[in-house]
Amino acid sequence: AQTPVKVTVTGAAGQIGYALLFRIASGQLLGADVPVKLSLLEIPQAVKAAEGTAMELDDCAFPLLSGIEVTDDANKAFDGASVALLVGARPRTAGMERGDLLQANGGIFGPQGKAINDNAADDIRVLVVGNPANTNSLIAQQHAPDVPAERFTAMTRLDHNRALSQLAAKLQVPVTEIKKMTIWGNHSATQYPDLFHAEVGGKVAAEQVDEAWLRDTFIPTVAKRGAAIIEARGASSAASAANAAIDHVFDWVNGTEWTSAAIPSDGSYGVPEGLISSFPVASRDGKWEIIQGLEIDAFSRERIDASVRELEEERAAVRELGLI
């Protein structure tokens, strides 16, 4: 039998954690033939709640789940880990400035990056879900100099899936008809969901919708969907966020021809090197590759640049604060 793969989930007692852990344990993260060991990292006050979730995981008797540990010690949590899902973060609360938010998250993602650096398995792959996800991922990466930089990623797959679903509803086609969807930039309201490269039934999606819908409905609906979910359910997206995290890691490990992921820029498409920005990506041999050669028109350029500018400002702010 295959050796179990250790998967570490931070913020395990939170709502995304609750939606995520059972799917990992059932084999949906890595594949139906890969046994997993789960490590649940929480802050001390939430360890008991995470232990409760671990009891429920036990009660599922998942054939692929070979063990669970619950801890508030990051060194222990990441010891031997091959996948790290960094979900726990400090949310923005009323009156908090961006600097305070970045500072508080620097205090989480810096030490976790170091703990990954010092303890994780050589094949560690990191997905940051906790917001501000792109910049939190950058902070963790900068504290893990021994881990290849490209192993640090952030999640824009939920935005990607939202874009698929909005376009499918508009054109009344199954989501499976849509290819080459792309989210560019930051996982924030500035993100740019791109229909100029997306295809429906083999034809460019942007040519099948009117420009006003694309500009005034589609883009803002995708970008502000998180707020609409909070408004409707009284809590932020959880199961859909967990689902997107599963999609991201599954495709990273098992390969895909085209999706969206925030990965360290190599300078492609004018995105400054090192920023963890969302791109159209393929995954081959366990590595993300930015899809090259796309023509970017003025409409898209302006929107990509705006989102990338926000990432540059976040990077400048965390440098200023001494967090990287």
Binding site for ligand NAX (CB under 6 A): 10-11, 13-17, 41-43, 46, 87-89, 91, 108, 129-131, 133, 155, 158, 187, 226, 236-238, 241
Q: Is 17 known to sit in a ligand binding site?
A: yes
Q: Within 10 A of 83 (CB to CB), how many other CB atoms are there?
A: 23
Kindly state the tokens that stand for 233: 């359910």
- Residue 213: CB minimum distance to ligand NAX, A: 24
Numbers of helices and strands, H then E, in the chain: 11, 14
Distances (CA, A) of 125 to 8, 177, 231: 10, 30, 33
Residue 192, helix vs strand vs coil: strand
By beta-carbon proximity to ligand NAX, the closer residue of 240 and 265 is 240
- Under a CB-based contact definition with an 8 Å cutoff, are residues 256 and 282 in contact? yes
Residue 295 to residue 198: CA distance in whole angstroms: 12
Burial environment of residue 274 by CB neighbours within 10 A (0 to 12, 13 to 18, 19 or more): middle
Q: Is 12 known to sit in a ligand binding site?
A: yes
By beta-carbon proximity to ligand NAX, the closer residue of 129 and 205 is 129
- Residue 241: CB minimum distance to ligand NAX, A: 4
* Position with the least CB separation from ligand NAX: 14
For the stretch 100-134, what's the b/e string if a residue is b when 16 or more beta carbons lie within 10 angstroms of its beta carbon? ebbbbbbebbbebbbbbbebbbeebbbbbbbbbbb
Phi, psi of 87 (to 5 degrees): -100, -35
- Residue 44: CB minimum distance to ligand NAX, A: 9
Q: Is 75 known to sit in a ligand binding site?
A: no
Q: Is 103 known to sit in a ligand binding site?
A: no
- Tell me the catalytic residues: 187
- Residue 9: CB minimum distance to ligand NAX, A: 9
Q: Is 16 known to sit in a ligand binding site?
A: yes
- Numbered residues of the known binding site for substrate: 92, 98, 131, 162
- Numbered residues of the known binding site for NAD(+): 11-17, 105, 112, 129-131
